[in-house]
Amino acid sequence: MITKARLKSLAEKHGTPLFIVDHDELRKNFRAFRKYLPRVQPYFAVKAGADAAIVRTLFNEGASFDVASMPEFALVYENIKHLKKKERQAWIWDRIIYANPIKPVETLRELDQYKPLVTFDNLEEIEKIKQHAPHAGLCLRIKVANTGAMVELSSKFGAMPGEAVDLILEADRRGLTVEGISFHVGSQTTNFENYVQALNLTANIFAEAKDRGYTKMNLVDIGGGFPAPYDSSVRPFRELARIINSEIKRLFPKHIEILAEPGRFFVATAGYAVSKIIGKAVRDGKASYYINDGVYHTYSGQLFDHCKYTIKSFKRGKTSLSAVFGPTCDALDVISMADPLPNLERDDFVYSDNIGAYSRASTTHFNGFEPATVVHVNE
What pLDDT, in 10s, does the model give residues 78-124? 999 999 999 999 999 999 999 999 999 999 999 999 999 999 999 99
CA distance 368 to 73: 29
Mean of pLDDT values over 168-183: 98
Active-site pick, 255, 283, 318, 329 = 329
Residue 157 makes CB contacts below 8 A (sequence gap 6+) with 101, 102, 121, 141, 143, 184
Task: Between 199 and 157, name the one with better pLDDT.
Answer: 199
Confidence grade of residue 362 (pLDDT, cut at 50, 70, 90): confident
Q: Above pLDDT 90, what percent of the chain?
A: 88
Please report how many Cα atoms fall inside a 13 Å half-sphere around the Cα of residue 62, on the Cβ side. Answer: 8
The pLDDT of residue 299: 96
Task: Between 362 and 10, name the one with better pLDDT.
Answer: 10
CA distance 52 to 379: 12
Known active-site residue 139: no
| 3-class SS of residue 69 | coil
Stated pTM of the model: 0.94
pLDDT tens per residue, range 131-148 = 999 999 999 999 986 776
* Choice among 1-5, 22-26, 174-178, 219-223 with the minimum mean pLDDT: 1-5
The domains of the chain, with CATH numbers, are 4-19+269-377 (2.40.37.10), 24-267 (3.20.20.10)
Mean of pLDDT values over 243-260: 97
* pLDDT, the chain, mean: 94
The pLDDT of residue 1: 78
From residue 265, alpha-carbon distances to 30, 249, 253, 269 in Å are: 8, 23, 27, 8
pLDDT tens per residue, range 305-331 = 888 999 999 999 999 999 999 999 999
CA distance 250 to 257: 14
321 touches 288 (CB < 8 A): no
Mean of pLDDT values over 56-72: 97
Residue 351 makes CB contacts below 8 A (sequence gap 6+) with 4, 7, 272, 273, 274, 275, 311, 312, 314
The pLDDT of residue 379: 84
Mean of pLDDT values over 270-274: 98
**Helix, strand and coil in the chain, % to nearest 5:** 35, 25, 40
48 touches 359 (CB < 8 A): no
Q: Is 348 exposed, middle or buried (0-12, 13-18, 19+ CB in 10 A)?
A: middle
